[in-house]
Amino acid sequence: MSTKYSDKLQKLRNRRTPTVKSLTFDSVPRPVMESFETKGKGDATRYALGCMAEVPAEYTKISLRDGQRVADQLTSQKLYSVETRLQGSVPLNVHIYSSSDVDLLVLAAWFCQVDQPAVQPNSYNFSTGPKSTLKELVDLRAFCETYLAQKYPAAEVDTSGAKAIAVSGGSLARKVDIVPSHWIDTVDYQRLHLEYFRDVAILDKHTHTTLRNSPFRHMMLINAKDKASDESAKKAIRLLKCLCRDADADIGLSSYEIAGLIYHMPDEKLKVNPFFPLVLLGRVDEYLRQLENNPSYAKSLRAPDGSRLILDTTQKINALTALRVELTDTINNVAADYDAGQQYQFDRALALERARRTLDSTIIY
């Protein structure tokens, strides 16, 4: 087959291998082999299984630890009263190690925005905030930039990002993105006091505006999707993220957008027998093809929380096709691990049909 999956498998191994610094700091030796490396037949199969697999728990702990270390630094100072929360792929457990940074919200604790009509009675003992919440976030951002540079002199503190301050190196084994923000208490949060109904406003330093996000609702909905699909939704998300990461050309879909696409995939299509995990590749490929063939429907899909369209530009529709091509190529290469005749099937439609039959009948112990 055309793609060298031994190289892809090695890239995957390298991503999942901690740096020398983090090994020394944590005394966590990498296993000689992860479980996916001893399963199946051939490098393409092991690559696909590795793409779907969780990052080992001990390395996820390093990411969570580094995020907490930065959080503790920010909450221990006395000049600004702040709270912190992790968001993104690491706490959601769809990260793929070196391509996934730790996202840390730094939330102003002295005010919040209260959506109207406010639920009465409520427990708010303060006004909805200063006259200019934008100015407060601008000041918080400036403080964080200076404070982090002081506290992490051996690290690189990159303040050029529109939404995040990136801290990497020094004593940190992971890059941590610090995002200044403030709470928005939705009407649902006021009624139910469940944090996943609480939104946040994030500062965009470049445009001098704020953006509204629902990160905790997003995580709650993806977790619910994963449970409803017998824990296959997150495998599908990791698979597509890895394919994006390892593609020869850039595929312009974010982790958030990939998760949103899988969220709309039917639960019954995601569910697979655990002894036949390769079936999931064909199921996801079929779903992406359905989106390709019905672009008006694909363009109508919204993020899980309903806040925005997922494929809102022509470039993202094209990226969907590029991602599907990567997945189809993977399917053909995995099938060739078990069917020597696969590489001689030159009709693309027949080759894919033959490959899917092979994957559907391949047991992985």
Which DSSP string do the residues of 275-315 spell out, in sequence order? T-TTHHHHHHHHHHHHHHH-HHHHHH-B-TTSSSBSS-SHH
Per-residue confidence (pLDDT) for residue 2, from 0 to 100? 47
Same domain, yes or no: 91 and 151: yes
DSSP assigned state of 348: H
In a domain, 52, yes or no: no
In a domain, 96, yes or no: yes
In a domain, 50, yes or no: no
Same domain, yes or no: 107 and 181: yes
In a domain, 1, yes or no: no
Per-residue confidence (pLDDT) for residue 155, from 0 to 100? 96
Same domain, yes or no: 126 and 208: yes
Tally of CB atoms within 10 A around 138 = 16
Per-residue confidence (pLDDT) for residue 126, from 0 to 100? 57
Q: Give the burial class of 143: count Cβ atoms within 10 A of its Cβ; 0-12 exposed, 13-18 middle, 19 or more buried.
A: middle
Same domain, yes or no: 87 and 117: yes
Of 198, 213, 228, which residue sits at a domain end? Answer: 213
Q: Give the burial class of 295: count Cβ atoms within 10 A of its Cβ; 0-12 exposed, 13-18 middle, 19 or more buried.
A: middle
- CA-CA-CA-CA torsion for 283, 313, 199, 188, nearest 10 degrees? -70
Name the residue among 303, 298, 305 with its Cα closest to residue 320: 298
CATH number of the domain to which 196 belongs: 3.30.460.10
Q: How many domains does the chain have?
A: 2
Per-residue confidence (pLDDT) for residue 24, from 0 to 100? 39
Same domain, yes or no: 145 and 201: yes
Same domain, yes or no: 77 and 108: yes
Provide long-range contacts, Cβ within 8 A and 24+ apart, for 114-119: 114/184, 114/185, 114/190, 115/184, 115/185, 115/186, 115/187, 115/190, 117/187, 118/187, 118/190, 119/187, 119/190, 119/191
Of 156, 191, 213, which residue sits at a domain end? Answer: 213
Q: Name the one residue in this structure whose structure tokens are 């303040």.
A: 159
Per-residue confidence (pLDDT) for residue 127, from 0 to 100? 56
Q: Using alpha carbons only, how large is the chain's radius of gyration in Å?
A: 22
Per-residue confidence (pLDDT) for residue 128, from 0 to 100? 60
pTM for this one?
0.91
Same domain, yes or no: 204 and 226: no
Same domain, yes or no: 193 and 65: yes
Per-residue confidence (pLDDT) for residue 124, from 0 to 100? 61
Per-residue confidence (pLDDT) for residue 346, from 0 to 100? 79
Per-residue confidence (pLDDT) for residue 82, from 0 to 100? 97
In a domain, 25, yes or no: no
In a domain, 67, yes or no: yes
Same domain, yes or no: 68 and 209: yes
Which DSSP string do the residues of 238-281 spell out, in sequence order? HHHHHHHHH-SS-----HHHHHHHHHTS-HHHH---TT-TTHHH
Per-residue confidence (pLDDT) for residue 105, from 0 to 100? 98
Same domain, yes or no: 226 and 193: no
Of 213, 248, 268, which residue sits at a domain end? Answer: 213
In a domain, 136, yes or no: yes
Residue-range definition of the domain harbouring residue 98: 59-213
In a domain, 329, yes or no: yes
Q: What is the mean pLDDT of the chain?
A: 90
Q: Which pLDDT tens digit goes with each residue over 150-198?
A: 999 999 999 999 999 999 999 998 899 999 999 999 999 999 999 999 9
Per-residue confidence (pLDDT) for residue 120, from 0 to 100? 80
Q: How far apart are CA 335 and CA 45, in angstroms?
A: 8
Q: Is 119 left (phi over 0), alpha (psi -120 to 50) or beta?
A: beta
Same domain, yes or no: 209 and 64: yes
Same domain, yes or no: 245 and 289: yes
- Low-confidence spans in the chain with pLDDT less than 70: 1-3, 16-32, 98-100, 122-129
